[in-house]
Amino acid sequence: MNSLSARSLASLLRGWREATAAPAYAALADRIRLLILDGRIPLGTRVPAERDLAAQLGVSRTTVTAIYGELRDGGYLDSLRGSGSVARLPSRSPIIVDNHQAGYLDFSKAALPAIPALAAAAIQAATELPAYLGDSGFDPIGLPVLRAAVADRYSARGLPTEPEQIMITLGAQHAIALLARTILGRGDSALVESPSYPHAYEALRLTGARLVPVSVTSDDGWDEAALEQAIQRSSPAMGYLMPDFHNPTGQTMPAALRQRMLALAERQGTVIVADETMAELTIDRPDTPLPLAAYGAAVTIGSVGKTVWGGVRIGWIRAERQLIQKLTRARSAGDLGTPALEQLVVKNLLDQYDAILDIRRTQLRAGRDHLAGALAAAFPEWRVPTPDGGLTTWVNLGAPVSSQLTLAARAEGLLLAAGPRFGIDGAFERFLRIPFGHSADETDRAIEALGRAWTSLARGPLLDQSFLAEVV
């Protein structure tokens, strides 16, 4: 059973005193509840003993006892004889029910509804499937027709690629996890951006690697000096980056930095893995960026989860043949291959991918602009960037209340991902990631719910006008 030390939990709870005027036990209980809901405290993890947490937080043991009691009553902790208390979710938690049936608006995911062409592509794939029914169906590397189609897509984007350089995976998350456990060993360093995609953090940590963060901001992009120093001083075995329409900031890495970073990584023996799942979701730019591997040695990950639909679990890895062969040998420890029918669906959609991307760009431009206008009208004190691609905006709230606001929004029927979900050890309480792939009606309803939640925090000590004047 995994356990969370008092020191680690205190780090995740950083800033809890300042973010609310509520009593200590209620504020702490709310924050721990959110950490469990967000997955920052994984289910089944043993939380610290009451005495240890009280000492670390500088509160009485009675306070911690009351906190744990409230969480147990709400179904967020189980007390096991001899094992302390472990994190769980209540049976009626909004995280594990159908949000549409429950009436929740889910803005916690950066995703789009299915592309209209999906149904026709699936029907066509079903007619093609009989040609593949004569073999075992276990496919650890991918159907040749799809590998060729993905390779052709890379070549069309300016990166000559052969089918032998492609492995088809069960989506991008599967690709990240497979690469992590193949490249990384316990104790290795892994370069990551901060903030970043939280499930990538999880996959890297499961290998026993030590994460080395490098800052990315909506205003300035990557901290170039820190990035170079991290590679030189840590010699990470692997680096996981999102150079195109970075999640959550929306930034795109400049070409000159790509070249310097890859040259330095090659000298240090670092395998750079680029998550390019949103690379072609440009909104304002006339051309999509070149794949990272066009600038030097790099492994790239792609998928159709952001462009076609999240329910089509098909992704891919582009790498040199030797690494593809190594990944193929390692894959059987986790799964036995990718479904043939879904591969055929994606093969058919890649034939019309440019038209699909045009539709998505139109949708995203309308969604981004509508969200930006609605946020500016409802929350003039917030800083709302306007990214030129991707699916999200990384909003600066002006106060470290993201977790509290996320909890308040749940009470209003709106699910959000708090800023610290995208950081390491509780950072980014001033930020909130908001996706703009929803319809105008859904966005308007979400802004209304967010407005009610923000108003409910108005009595908090950090939301007075003198503080807001400093950050506007």
The CATH number of whichever domain residue 179 belongs to comes to 3.40.640.10
375 contacts: CB under 8 Å, gap ≥ 6: 382, 384, 395, 434, 447
Output the pLDDT for position 18.
64
Place of tokens 């003198």: 466
Q: Which of 351, 371, 403 is the last residue of a domain?
A: 351
Q: Which of 307, 333, 351 is the last residue of a domain?
A: 351
Residues 272 and 133 in one domain: yes
Q: Per-10-residue mean pLDDT for the chain, 472 residues long?
A: 84 72 78 78 86 92 90 87 80 44 84 96 98 94 98 97 98 98 97 96 95 93 94 96 97 96 98 97 88 98 97 97 97 93 98 96 97 97 96 94 91 94 84 97 98 83 37 26
**Number of neighbouring beta carbons within 10 Å of residue 300:** 25
Output the pLDDT for position 385.
96
The parent domain of residue 461 ranges over 98-114+355-471
Residues 375 and 330 in one domain: no
Residues 318 and 447 in one domain: no
Residues 229 and 248 in one domain: yes
Write the CATH number for 404. Answer: 3.90.1150.10
**Number of neighbouring beta carbons within 10 Å of residue 176:** 25
Residue 151 in any domain: the answer is: yes
User: 437, 363 in Cβ contact below 8 A?
Assistant: yes
Write the CATH number for 47. Answer: 1.10.10.10
Output the pLDDT for position 38.
66
Question: What DSSP state is assigned to residue 3?
Answer: B
Place of tokens 């795109």: 252
Q: Which of 351, 369, 396 is the last residue of a domain?
A: 351
Residues 316 and 229 in one domain: yes
Residue 31 in any domain: the answer is: yes
Tokens of 329: 């040998």
Residue 93 in any domain: the answer is: no
Output the pLDDT for position 466.
33
Q: How many domains does the chain have?
A: 3
Residues 245 and 344 in one domain: yes
Residues 305 and 171 in one domain: yes
Residues 310 and 366 in one domain: no
Q: C-alpha distances in angstroms, 16 versus 20, 27, 101, 330?
A: 7, 7, 33, 43
Residue 235 in any domain: the answer is: yes
Residue 92 in any domain: the answer is: no
Output the pLDDT for position 102.
59
Residues 230 and 149 in one domain: yes
Residue 308 in any domain: the answer is: yes
Residues 382 and 452 in one domain: yes
Rg of the chain, C-alpha, whole Å: 23
Residue 188 in any domain: the answer is: yes
HSE-up of 345 (CA within 13 Å, CB side)? 24
Residues 184 and 246 in one domain: yes
Residues 439 and 305 in one domain: no
Q: What is the pTM of this model?
A: 0.83
Residue 1 in any domain: the answer is: no
